[in-house]
Amino acid sequence: RVKSLPKNFVWGGATAAYQVEGATKVDGKGKTMWDDYLKAQGRFSPDPASDFYHRYPEDVKLSHKYGLNAIRVSIAWTRIFPDGYGEPNQAGVKYYHELFKTCIENGVTPYVSLHHFDSPKTLFDQGDWLNRKNIDYFVKYAEFCFKEFTEVKNWFTINELISLSLSQYIAGNFPPNHHFDVTSAIQAQHNELLAHAKAVNLYKSLNLDGRIGLIHVLQPIYPITETPENKHAAALYDAFINRFLLDGTFLGEYSDETMSLINEILDKNNAKLDIQDGDMDILKKASTQNDYFGMNYYQSQFIQAYDGPSGNKFNGTGDKGSSSFSFHGVGQIVQKPGVPTTDWDWNIYPEGLYDILKRVAKEYPNSKTIYITENGLGYKDKFVSEDQVIEDEPRIDYIDQHVAALLKARSEGVDVQGYFVWSLQDQFSWANGYNKRYGLFYVDFDTQKRYVKKSAEWFKELADTMDK
Ligand code: BGP
């Protein structure tokens, strides 16, 4: 077990607006791409989620009490601009000022993302990130927030560009539910990178007293066996989900090697990528201006070469072993014997975190300081009784192993300055609903009461080891 944390380590919990706030129809909020979609699907409702909109003071106090010195939150674009653009909605602006104030007063520093999977419905209907106008709407929204919320000193533009594009256009489990629409998936990545870069360039030109970066989830891809074919499959899929975005963010160009892998995928899938004049200059300018890098890490994957048809099954229910993923001309995801998995088939592989931290530090020095902005275990926690702490040893093991991997990379020179567990409290999961719990604090979604899990106590014990 990890024995102690470094001095001044950022030790936080993560949330996202749509997953915790609830109150989706309150105080002038506009619809996101999720509202009608979830209603039509009828599986679960984003209301009231963890009712953070009303209960944030309690959650921030709990954070402080259990030793967390930071919290990741996101601003719901549609609380500020209900349609994504136009006049700001003052009730939304007021809400976030109050939230940030409460965090700061309690010694829980807010790290704030501007976009966490919750595109405004109006803009979603106009093509979302595939529409280049979306980039400008986003930058306007970002500019408003930078100038308005000057109490925020730690910004992230967009959360997990790859998860959004992969879930929307490849796996098909986020609206608009396309399957293996490779053109849209790669184009959305490029356009989101542009939006990020423009927002960073703008932020830096404003000379505000704060820091900015973005968040990528990184998923190391390993060949299941070291044959040349499997190694090539791993290189291809890695380029598609990690390298293209890392290059675009921190090199400000897609390297020749990256593009040759990407082009191979595009050719095999009759897809194309549109890069316009000037795009790369924007990325280049931003590439050295990020102050830090938010890295989310949950799992690594193992792959074998595959030329059959694309197809996937998404495990959104927690029925272990029900998922599959095969990408034509890229590879097929397989299980590695001996690597444990969660009920949702996510590999538990802390070595992957160590490997990817080392790689990012070596290959992308412009990433500068790294924060692990999400890591955690989705688990079917069981409530026992009002006065009994919820036992979640598997979560403690998971976090402990990953923090150990992080500290190992740090001891070898990787500049990692913080860790945010996903998630602070139990919350709504986009494609899994409410039985996939991640929190340090258990939420009874009927009563909205919070209960302490053992992992929260463990988190507090480690926080207490930190030299202040
Ligand atoms: C990340 C997202 C989060 C969160 C987490 C867990 O991809 O940034 O929003 O949901 O993964 O994923 P899931 O809820 O699908 O288990």
Measure the CA dihedral 111/114/119/121, to 10°.
110
Catalytically annotated residue among 151, 160, 351, 461: 160
160 lines ligand 1 (CB under 6 A): yes
Query: Would the CB of 436 count as within 6 Å of ligand 1?
Result: yes
- For ligand 1, say whether the CB of 429 is within 6 Å of any of its atoms: yes
Pairing verdict, β 154-159 and 211-217: parallel
Give the ipTM of the model, two decimals please. Answer: 0.98
Structure tokens at 151: 């109490």
What's the rounded Cα separation, in Å, for the pair 422 and 72? 9
- 300: Cβ contacts below 8 Å, ≥ 6 apart: 219, 220, 221, 222, 347, 349, 351, 352, 355
* Full pLDDT tens readout for the chain, 468 residues: 999 999 999 999 999 999 999 999 999 999 999 999 999 999 999 999 999 999 999 999 999 999 999 999 999 999 999 999 999 999 999 999 999 999 999 999 999 999 999 999 999 999 999 999 999 999 999 999 999 999 999 999 999 999 999 999 999 999 999 999 999 999 999 999 999 999 999 999 999 999 999 999 999 999 999 999 999 999 999 999 999 999 999 999 999 999 999 999 999 999 999 999 999 999 999 999 999 999 999 999 999 999 999 999 999 999 999 999 999 999 999 999 999 999 999 999 999 999 999 999 999 999 999 999 999 999 999 999 999 999 999 999 999 999 999 999 999 999 999 999 999 999 999 999 999 999 999 999 999 999 999 999 999 999 999 976
Any catalytic annotation for residue 160?
yes
Q: Which ligand 1 atom is the nearest neighbour of the CA of 376?
A: 6
CA 352 vs CA 176, 287, 300: distances in Å: 31, 25, 6
Domain locations in the chain as residue ranges: 10-463
Which of 21, 58, 148, 374 is labelled catalytic? 374
**Ligand 1: distance of its center to the CA of 429 in Å?**
6
Tokens of 152: 């925020």
Which atom of ligand 1 lies nearest, measured to the CA of 298?
11
Cα three-residue angle 262-202-414, rounded to 5 degrees: 60
The reported pLDDT for the residue numbered 452 is 97
Ligand 1 centroid – CA 20 distance (Å) = 12
Handedness of CA 286, 19, 417, 8 (dihedral sign): positive
- Active site (annotated) includes residue 257: no
Q: Which CATH architecture has domain 10-463?
A: Alpha-Beta Barrel (3.20)
Q: Are strands 211-217 and 221-223 parallel, antiparallel or unpaired?
A: unpaired
Ligand 1 centre and the CA of 330: distance in Å?
24
**Phi–psi pair at 237, nearest 5 degrees:** -70, -35
Distance separating alpha carbons of residues 362 and 353, to the nearest angstrom: 14
426 lines ligand 1 (CB under 6 A): no
What are the residues facing 441 on neighbouring strands? 425, 452
CA separation, residue 224 to residues 171, 300, 323 (Å): 22, 12, 17
Report the pLDDT value the prediction gives residue 467, as an integer from 0 to 100.
Answer: 78
Which alpha helices (DSSP H) does 108-160 contain, by range?
Answer: 121-125, 133-148
CB of 432 sitting under 6 A from ligand 1:
yes
Question: What's the sign of the alpha-carbon dihedral 424, 427, 429, 435?
Answer: positive
For the Cβ of 430 lying below 6 angstroms from any atom of ligand 1, the answer is yes
Q: Which residue stretches of 32-119 are H helix?
A: 35-41, 52-65, 77-80, 90-105
In this structure, which residue's CA is closest to atom 7 in ligand 1?
163
Rg of the chain, C-alpha, whole Å: 21
Does the beta carbon of 347 lie inside 6 Å of ligand 1? no
Quote the strand ranges of 185-232, DSSP E: 211-217, 221-223
Q: What is the pLDDT of residue 201?
A: 98
Classify residue 120 by its DSSP letter.
Answer: B
